[in-house]
């Protein structure tokens, strides 16, 4: 029989370590402040990064918006 307390646990999205999903964990769903900052930083980094390496399919797509007659 296990005596583990009924703590709501989940896995840290960054490192995969068990993280506490209660208000005791101010960094949930991350396991620690470090993981939270790292993951948040990575997310912001990707958001600010312009994907120049990827071919702009939207630009190659011929759009007829310019020929739409205005009101």
Give the binding site for Zn ion (CB under 5 A): 12, 14-15, 17, 31, 35
CA distance 11 to 30: 7
CB of 12 to Zn ion, least distance (A): 3
Among residues 25 and 31, whose Cβ is nearest to Zn ion? 31
CB of 34 to Zn ion, least distance (A): 7
CB of 32 to Zn ion, least distance (A): 6
Burial 54-64 (b: 16+ CB within 10 A, else e): eeeeeeeeeee
């Amino acid at each position: 029989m296990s005596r583990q307390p009924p703590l709501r646990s989940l896995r840290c999205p960054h490192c995969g370590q068990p993280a506490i999903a209660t208000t005791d964990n101010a960094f949930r769903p991350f396991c620690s402040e470090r993981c939270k900052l790292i993951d948040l930083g990575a997310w912001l980094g990707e958001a600010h990064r312009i994907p120049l390496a990827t071919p702009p399919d939207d630009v190659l797509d011929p759009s007829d918006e310019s020929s739409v007659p205005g009101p």
